[in-house]
Amino acid sequence: MPTFITVYLYVPISALQNGQDGRAREVDLGAFYFKSHGTKLVKSHKHDWLILVLLAAIEIGLNIIHPFHRFVGKDMMTDLKYPMKDNTVPVWSVPIYAVLLPIVVFTFFYFRRRDVHDLHHAILGLLFSVLITGVITDAIKDAVGRPRPDFFWRCFPDGIDNYDKWGNVICHGDDKDIREGHKSFPSGHTSWSFAGLGFLALYLSAKIKVFDRRGHIAKLCILFLPLLMASLVAVSRVDDYWHHWQDVFAGGILGLVVATMCYLQFFPAPYHSEGWGPYAYFRALEETNSRSTVGHPADGVHMQAVEIPDLHQQSRRNGSHTFRQVSLSDSLHDVEAGKM
């Protein structure tokens, strides 16, 4: 008589609910919702969020203290007599396009893939990127105290210059303008722009698989849009005579380097085969699969028993069938070889 093998198959419940074909959508197989996993995820990174608050406090403090007042002689004023102009890109707009705009994009991908790990880590990485960049930028600003290209008119708004016996300027302009006039290097607008939009460019390049070796140049155009936007902000700082070209160059490099480092803390490189998801997402999948393998199905998984005849063995019991139970963790080779 033939021997039967009982095999337990683990089938996602979503597959049983998707009609007679029993096929589950990809988004359902790896969905981690904010409602079910968000609170636990935020609590597991509570120290990271506390450090963000600390960085924000340091950033505020760096903007309150006075920068170093570098020696500015009369012969140096040749390059510092550019006219004072308003900002083409206002200060209040920087957090909007460098922080809020990327978060809107992250949220869009969350509603598409339903992965709270991706949303949480993208926001956390972005905030670290802009705040670390801001702290480094303003710390260097205060320490260097390089005068802006329009420093002469900040120091002498009436055009009448005055110097002490050492040849250093004796300013009689508005204190706020003078203090701001010593914060030229590096450019804060530029560093913040490349920190936020550079992070967004890395995120998009991974999500749309720019480096999938299929040669779709159109994807590169999407990747370059945030970088082009940040570059135009940098150019406007030179056009407005608020910065020297060295200021914006250093700010751009600083922002891109910090953005890359913060991105790689949470996500694989964009050219990686698994670059489309954060490290935490794949760890969560491994944990879910491991629980299923050891016989403890994860939420949303259904166990179904299937009897398979074993044609390689004959029952030693007369007049009866023999049944054995195996799990999916058993070797397929053993099953095929008739060892079970």
pLDDT digits (tens, 9 = 90+) for 31-77: 555 555 556 766 777 888 999 999 999 999 999 999 999 999 999 99
CA within 13 Å, CB half, 339: 7
pLDDT at 281: 64
Q: Say whether 17 sits in a helix, a strand or coil.
A: coil
Q: Is 117 a catalytic residue?
A: no
Which candidate, 280, 119, 133, 273, places its Cα nearest to that of 203?
119
Residue 308 backbone phi and psi in degrees, to 5: -120, 125
pLDDT at 218: 82
Q: Is 189 a catalytic residue?
A: yes
Q: What is the DSSP letter of 69?
A: -
Low-confidence ranges of the chain (pLDDT < 70): 1-39, 41-42, 275, 279-282, 284-340
Q: What is the pTM of this model?
A: 0.73
Domains in the chain and their CATH numbers? Answer: 2-14+303-337 (no CATH), 31-68+90-146+183-284 (1.20.1640)
pLDDT at 309: 53
pLDDT at 13: 43
Q: Which of 117, 120, 182, 243 is catalytic?
A: 243
Which candidate, 165, 175, 188, places its Cα nearest to that of 234?
188
pLDDT digits (tens, 9 = 90+) for 300-311: 444 444 455 554
pLDDT at 241: 95
pLDDT at 248: 97
Ranges assigned E (strand) in the chain: 2-12, 301-314, 322-326
pLDDT at 315: 45
Q: Which of 120, 121, 189, 244 is catalytic?
A: 189
